[in-house]
Amino acid sequence: MGTLEVKNLGLSYGSAYIFENLDLSIPEGKITVFIGSNGCGKSTLLRSMARLLKPQQGSVILAGSDISSMSTKEVAKKLAILPQGPTAPEGLTVLQLVKQGRYPYQSWLKQWSREDEEVVQQALEATGMSELAERPVDSLSGGQRQRAWIAMTLAQETPIILLDEPTTYLDLTHQIEVLDLLYEMNDRDKRTIVMVLHDINLACRYADHIVAIRDGRIEAQGAPNEVVDEQLIENVFRLKCEIIPDPLYGTPLCIPHDNCRLRASRALAQQQKRQNNSLHGQPVGEHNKTEETVEPVKELVAASPVRV
Amino acid sequence: MSKYKPLRSRGAQFSVLIEKRAVWITLILFIVCLAAMIVSTGAGSQFITPLNVIKTLLGKGEPTYEVIIMKLRLPRIIIAVLVGSSLAVAGAVLQSIIRNPLASPDVAGITEGASLGAVLFIFLFGGTVPIHWMPLTSITGAFLITGLLYILAWKKGVDPLRLVLIGIGISAAIKSISYMLVISGPLQLAQRSLTFMTGSIYGTSWDKDVLTLLPWVAVLLPLTWLQTRNVNIQALGDEVASSAGAHVQKHRLLLLALSVALAGAAVAIGGAIGFIGLMAPHMARKLVGSSFGSVLPVSALLGAIILLLADLAARTAFLPNDVPAGVLTAAIGAPFFMYLLYRNRNRY
Nearest to B15 among A88, A99, A112 (CB): A112
Q: How far apart are CA A191 and CA A1, in angstroms?
A: 8
**Which CATH class, in words, describes the domain spanning B23-343?**
mainly alpha
Are both A123 and A27 inside the same structural domain? yes
Q: How far apart are CA B136 and CA A73, in angstroms?
A: 38
Are both A285 and A232 inside the same structural domain? no
* Packing angle of the helix pair B74-98, B292-316 (nearest 10 deg): 140
Distances, alpha carbon B153 to alpha carbons A65, B162, B166, in Å:
34, 6, 7
Are both A171 and A135 inside the same structural domain? yes
Give domain status of residue A27, yes or no.
yes
Give domain status of residue A246, yes or no.
no
Is there a contact between B163 and B151 (Cβ–Cβ < 8 Å)? Answer: no
Residues 13-42 of B with CB under 8 A from A: 13-17
Is there a contact between B174 and B113 (Cβ–Cβ < 8 Å)? Answer: yes
Say yes or no: A86 contacts chain B, CB-CB below 8 A.
yes
For residues A183-201, give the mean pLDDT. 93
Q: Which residue type, as a one-letter code, is found at position A92?
A: L
Are both A207 and A297 inside the same structural domain? no
- DSSP for A192-253, written as a single string: EEEEE-S-HHHHHHH-SEEEEEETTEEEEEE-HHHH-SHHHHHHHHS--EEEEE-TTT--EE
Is there a contact between B325 and B266 (Cβ–Cβ < 8 Å)? Answer: no
Is 60 exceeded by the pLDDT of residue B347? no
Nearest to A100 among B6, B16, B244 (CB): B244
Give domain status of residue A250, yes or no.
no
The shortest C-alpha distance from B263 to chain A (Å) reads 24
The chain B residue lying nearest A113, using CA atoms, is B15
- DSSP for B184-201, written as a single string: HS-HHHHHHHHHHHH---
* DSSP bridge pairs for A26: A4
Q: Among B30, B32, B102, B81, which Cα is nearest to B275's?
A: B102
Q: Which residue has the higher pLDDT, A214 or A264?
A: A214
Q: Which residue type, as a one-letter code, is found at position B13?
A: Q
Are both A188 and A145 inside the same structural domain? yes
Are both A20 and A98 inside the same structural domain? yes
Are both A61 and A208 inside the same structural domain? yes
For residues A142-171, give the mean pLDDT. 92
Q: Which residue range(s) make up the domain with A234?
A: 4-238
Question: Based on C-alpha coordinates, what's the Rg of chain B?
Answer: 20
Helix (H, G, I), strand (E, B) or coil at A31: strand
Query: What is this model's ipTM?
Result: 0.82
Q: Among B76, B186, B178, which Cα is nearest to B118's?
A: B178
Band of residue A227 on the pLDDT scale cut at 50, 70, 90: very high
Q: How far apart are CA A2 and CA B107, in angstroms?
A: 46
Are both A152 and A280 inside the same structural domain? no
* Total domains, chain A: 2
Summarised one tens digit per residue, pLDDT across range B172-207 is: 888 888 888 888 878 777 877 777 777 777 777 777
Percent of chain B with pLDDT over 70: 95
- The contacts of residue A134 (CB under 8 Å, 6+ apart) are A93, A94, A95, B3
The shortest C-alpha distance from A219 to chain B (Å) reads 28
Is 60 exceeded by the pLDDT of residue B119? yes
Give domain status of residue A248, yes or no.
no
Are both A210 and A267 inside the same structural domain? no
Band of residue B127 on the pLDDT scale cut at 50, 70, 90: low
Are both A74 and A197 inside the same structural domain? yes
Are both A171 and A264 inside the same structural domain? no
Q: For chain B, what is the mean pLDDT?
A: 84
- We report the CATH number of the domain holding residue A92 as 3.40.50.300
Contact B285 A104 (CB under 8 A): no
Query: Can you give the pLDDT at residue B2?
Result: 63
